[in-house]
């Protein structure tokens, strides 16, 4: 473990990519990959809780995913509604506090009510905070935060924007993982990932298992997080912290 970061990240964010390819390789419709992706998320959330991760934030549907074929988009909306009905009781039992993050205005009334109900049921849970980013875009988030400040007549400052951002209930991600082999952010947490450690995995999301998660956490633990300082400064302050504890 590197002296300047704790072994297990407090907040992990994941771009869950590769569902379509997983299905296509098996000659299945893309939606079969998305269904498998829900199971993979369930497994990943459980594994994160077991490892002491406090917050898991996942990218489930981007602002740009509306541009996919209509049948895939409607399949994903149906899958969200079904996954809610099927998974929320178990997540609640496991102590997961659910949040849905994104522009809810363009979701159907029925889906919106389902999301709200799931959040209300799990609000008191403390084992793992699970943020599901659905109809989310990093640019949308920054713009909506700025609009909220403007509407209240507040000055546009970093601290003000931070408080108005959709993930203001959690600290910034320590580790950002993208599965599926692509090395890009695709408009995910543009503001919040300013100092996140990035790990790219070639595994497709449905195949991202506990071993792959442990590999990503091990890569994170080997990094030195400097936040603009020099390596010597970071090592000095972590030495004096370990003397105190
Ligand atoms: C990610 O998997 C899930 C969503 C974007 C909804 P993809 O559907 O992008 O899978 P690939 O990248 O086509 O394999
Ligand atoms: C990013 O994946 C969005 C989600 C995982 C929800 P995409 O598959 O949409 O990203 P691009 O289009 O390859 O950049
Ligand atoms: Mg993709």
Classify domain 11-244 at the CATH topology level.
Answer: Undecaprenyl pyrophosphate synthetase (3.40.1180)
* Residues 118, 19, 64, 59, CA torsion sign: positive
What is the whole-number distance in angstroms between the Cα of residue 93 and the centre of ligand 3? 31
Please confirm, yes or no, whether 141 is among the known catalytic residues.
no
Residue 201 clears pLDDT 80, i.e. is over it:
yes
- Rounded-to-integer distance, Cα 24 and Cα 31, Å: 10
Query: Span 202-222, mean pLDDT?
Result: 98
Please give the structure tokens belonging to residue 20: 């379509």
What pLDDT is attached to residue 188? 98
Catalytic residue among 2, 65, 125, 187: 65
62 is in an annotated binding site: yes
What is the whole-number distance in angstroms between the Cα of residue 153 and the centre of ligand 2? 35
Query: Span 138-149, mean pLDDT?
Result: 98
201 is in an annotated binding site: no
Q: Which atom of ligand 1 lies nearest, measured to the CA of 15?
A: 1
What is the whole-number distance in angstroms between the Cα of residue 136 and the centre of ligand 3? 15
Nearest CA to ligand 1 atom 8: 20
Q: Are 140 and 59 in contact (CB under 8 A)?
A: no
DSSP string, the chain: --TTS-SS-SEEEEE---HHHHHHHTT--HHHHHHHHHHHHHHHHHHHHHTT--EEEEEEEEGGGGGS-HHHHHHHHHHHHHHHHHHHHHHHHTTEEEEEES-GGGS-HHHHHHHHHHHHHHTT--SEEEEEEEEE-HHHHHHHHHHHHHHTT----HHHHHHHSTTTTSPPPSEEEE-SS----TTSSTTTTTT-EEEE--S-GGG--HHHHHHHHHHHHT----TTS-HHHHHHHHHHHHHH-
Residue with tokens 């931070």: 162
What pLDDT is attached to residue 3? 42
Query: Span 187-207, mean pLDDT?
Result: 98
Beta 11-15 vs 55-62: how paired, if at all?
parallel
Q: Are 192 and 216 in contact (CB under 8 A)?
A: no
Residue 4 clears pLDDT 70, i.e. is over it:
no
Residue 32 clears pLDDT 80, i.e. is over it:
yes
Q: What residues sit around ligand 3, an ion, with C-beta below 5 angstroms?
A: 17
Q: What are the angstrom distances between the C-alpha of 78 and each of 35, 74, 85, 108?
A: 11, 6, 11, 11
Angle ∠(42,53,126) on CA atoms, nearest 5: 80
Please confirm, yes or no, whether 65 is among the known catalytic residues.
yes
Q: Tell me the pLDDT tens digit for each residue of 154-185.
A: 999 999 999 999 999 999 999 999 999 999 99
Residue 9 clears pLDDT 90, i.e. is over it:
yes
What pLDDT is attached to residue 10? 98
Cross-strand bridge partners of residue 98: 130
What pLDDT is attached to residue 91? 97
Q: Tell me the pLDDT tens digit for each residue of 213-228.
A: 999 999 999 999 999 9
Task: Please give the share of the chain, as a percent, with pLDDT higher than 90.
Answer: 93
Residue with tokens 């403390």: 126
Residue with tokens 């713009």: 143
What is the whole-number distance in angstroms between the Cα of residue 208 and the centre of ligand 3? 14
Nearest CA to ligand 1 atom 5: 61
Give the residue extent of every domain in the chain.
Answer: 11-244
Residue from 16, 57, 60, 62 whose mutation best tests the ligand 2 pocket (most atoms within 8 A of CB): 62
39 is in an annotated binding site: no
Nearest CA to ligand 2 atom 10: 186
Nearest CA to ligand 2 atom 2: 17
What pLDDT is attached to residue 65? 98
Q: What are the angstrom distances between the C-alpha of 79 and each of 20, 22, 47, 132, 170?
A: 14, 17, 23, 14, 27
Q: Indicate the average pLDDT of the chain.
A: 96
Nearest to 98 by CA among 140, 29, 49: 49
Q: Which atom of ligand 1 lies nearest, measured to the CA of 76?
A: 6
């Amino acid at each position: 473990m590197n002296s300047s970061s704790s072994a297990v990240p407090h907040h992990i964010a994941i771009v869950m990519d590769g569902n379509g390819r997983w299905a296509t390789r098996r000659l299945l419709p893309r939606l079969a990959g998305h269904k498998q992706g829900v199971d993979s998320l369930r497994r990943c959330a459980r594994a994160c809780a077991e490892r002491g991760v406090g917050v898991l934030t996942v990218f489930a549907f981007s602002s740009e995913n509306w541009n996919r074929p209509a049948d895939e988009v409607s399949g994903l909306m149906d899958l969200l509604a079904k996954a809610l009905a099927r998974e929320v009781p178990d997540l609640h039992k496991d102590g997961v506090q659910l949040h849905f993050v994104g522009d809810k205005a363009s979701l159907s009334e029925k889906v919106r009510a389902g999301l709200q109900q799931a959040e209300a049921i799990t609000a008191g849970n403390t084992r793992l905070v699970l943020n599901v980013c659905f109809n989310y875009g990093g640019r949308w988030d920054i713009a909506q935060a700025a609009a909220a400040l403007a509407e209240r007549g507040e000055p546009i400052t970093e601290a003000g924007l931070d408080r108005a951002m959709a993930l203001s209930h959690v600290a910034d991600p320590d580790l950002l993982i993208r599965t599926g082999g692509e090395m890009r952010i695709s408009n995910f947490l543009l503001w919040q990932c300013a100092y996140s450690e990035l790990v790219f995995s070639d595994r497709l999301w449905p195949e991202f298992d506990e071993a792959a998660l442990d590999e990503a956490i091990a890569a994170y633990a080997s990094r030195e997080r400097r936040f603009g300082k020099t390596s010597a400064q970071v090592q000095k302050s972590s030495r004096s912290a370990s003397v105190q504890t």
